[in-house]
């Protein structure tokens, strides 16, 4: 799969995984692995990029005596998910064309 396309899809998948509840790295990998192959070494740069783009915020919380980093989707992150879904119809039209659709 094209690297840029995959990168964009992974970003949205991570945001969607966090849309309903805050989470931490290992759990995000576990939750997403039911839908796609992703490793922690792939996830953490995505989380950092999403944080830098202000789609996520980060906070620390103690768990079993250690601090754990949690991620929360921001309003901008929720808007990014909505924008992606709004654009998806166009993507489906392009894919249908590539697969040999009507060619309109």
pLDDT digits (tens, 9 = 90+) for 52-65: 999 999 999 998 99
N- to C-terminal Cα separation, the chain: 25
Domain count, the chain: 1
| In-domain check, residue 103 | no
The reply to whether 104 falls in a domain is no
Tens digits of residue pLDDT in 15-34: 999 999 999 999 999 999 99
Q: Which of 76, 71, 78 is nearest to 53 (CA)?
A: 76
| Band of pLDDT at residue 104, cut at 50, 70 and 90 | low
Domain with residue 68: its CATH number is: 1.10.10.10
Host domain of residue 91? 3-98
Q: What is the pTM of this model?
A: 0.85
Q: How many helices (DSSP H) and strands (DSSP E) are in the chain?
A: 4, 2
Whether pLDDT at 101 is above 80: no
Inside any domain, residue 91: yes
Question: Measured between alpha carbons, how far is 70 from 25 in angstroms, rounded to an integer?
Answer: 8
- Compute the Cα dihedral for 27, 29, 33, 36 and give only its sign: positive
């Amino acid at each position: 799969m094209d690297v840029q396309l995959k990168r964009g899809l992974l970003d949205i998948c991570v945001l969607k995984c966090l849309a309903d509840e805050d989470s931490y790295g290992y759990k995000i990998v576990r939750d997403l692995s039911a839908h796609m192959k992703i490793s922690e070494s792939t996830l953490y740069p995505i989380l950092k990029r999403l944080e830098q783009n202000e789609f996520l915020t980060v906070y620390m919380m103690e768990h079993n005596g250690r601090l754990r980093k949690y991620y929360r989707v921001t309003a901008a992150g929720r808007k990014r998910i909505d924008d992606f879904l709004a654009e998806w119809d166009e993507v489906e039209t392009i894919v249908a064309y590539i697969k040999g659709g009507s060619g309109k």
